[in-house]
Amino acid sequence: MKFENTGIENLKIDLNRLDDIMDNHGLVRAGQWDYERVTYDRKFELREGVFYLRIQGYAVEGDVDTFKATIQLMTPLLGKHYYPHGVEYGEGENFPNSLVSQCKKIIEDVKNDLSQLAV
């Protein structure tokens, strides 16, 4: 599921500040990066299954591995994890309404924090 028109996809921010803000909202980058891309996940374990709120971005300046990069964020996603295949975001997935509402709130809070520091 895509969270369209959140405003996050319009933001560019310094990687180090981005890491701090995402961490404050429970979104973890961990090992999910390469020289040009980053992915932040927040895991939700519910009765209906395991879900991930995912916010991705790519470097428009600098390199992620040097921690000196400006990141352009992308449209946030919500997916359901299927072992051992991975996360599915498709239209055929059913996401609990309470989870969707919670994710929208997290995205809005992240956007508000990032907007103050965006370049």
- Sorted by where each begins, the domain ranges of the chain are 8-115
Q: Band the pLDDT of 92: cuts 50, 70, 90.
A: confident
pLDDT in tens, 16-32: 999 999 999 999 998 77
Return the higher-pLDDT residue of 1 and 93: 1
Q: Name the β-bridge partners of 82.
A: 86
H or E element in which residue 81 lies: strand 77-82
Upstream peptide bond of 84 is cis (omega within 30 degrees of 0): yes
CA distance 3 to 109: 14
pLDDT at 87 over 80: yes
CA distance 53 to 17: 20
The arithmetic mean of pLDDT across residues 70-81, rounded, is 96
Mention the CATH class of domain 8-115. alpha beta
Q: Band the pLDDT of 88: cuts 50, 70, 90.
A: confident
pTM for the full model?
A: 0.91
